[in-house]
Amino acid sequence: MIEVMVTIAIVAILASIAYPNYSDYVRRGNVQEAPGNLSSYRAQIEQYYQDHRTYVKADGTCGIDPPTATANFQYSCTPTSTGQGYSLAATGNTGTSVTGLKYMLDQKNQPSTTCSSCAWNFTGTQTKWIVRKP
């Protein structure tokens, strides 16, 4: 009986170590989609600028529609008032492993990441894409 209790204790200790690492591993996998989609979207909107000399359509929205929302992220584009700049964003969906994360990219190709009560608990805006726990 004692051997079974010792075995259960060892398994519980191993599980308490493995689960947080596994959760972080899953989160890192889910995060990768945002920088990839934003980079691809940036290439498309830059091509639109080359063709039209502005980032916006006549209705004031970005020249290229944002990527379709996924299970993990919602995508958006906010043009500047002059039509000569933009801010792209990928915002983590509520209830997912990426809740609270927001990735941004602008016309200068400057990436940034913010965490609003996300699982990685960093503060402020980081001037790079954070794709793993700092």
Percentages of the chain per state (helix, strand, coil), in multiples of 5:
35, 20, 40
- pLDDT band per the 50, 70, 90 thresholds, residue 118: confident
| pLDDT at residue 40 in the model | 95
Structure tokens at 112: 């940034």
d(CA 113, CA 91): 10
d(CA 118, CA 113): 11
Residue 131 lies in a domain: no
d(CA 35, CA 12): 36
Span 3-8, average pLDDT: 88
Tell me the pLDDT of the chain averaged across its residues: 89
Structural domain of residue 13, as residue ranges?
A: 2-126
CA end-to-end distance (rounded Å), the chain: 43
Closest CA to 99 of 121, 77, 78: 121
Residue 10 lies in a domain: yes
Residue 74 lies in a domain: yes
Structure tokens at 17: 């170590």
pLDDT at 100 over 80: yes
Q: Residue 72 CA to chain centroid, in angstroms?
A: 8
Residue 6 lies in a domain: yes
- pLDDT band per the 50, 70, 90 thresholds, residue 22: confident
pLDDT at 28 over 90: no
**Region of 83 on the Ramachandran plot (φ > 0 left; ψ -120 to 50 alpha; else beta):** left
Residue 132 lies in a domain: no
| pLDDT at residue 94 in the model | 92
Residue 57 lies in a domain: yes
Span 70-87, average pLDDT: 94
pLDDT at 47 over 90: yes
- The total number of structural domains in the chain stands at 1
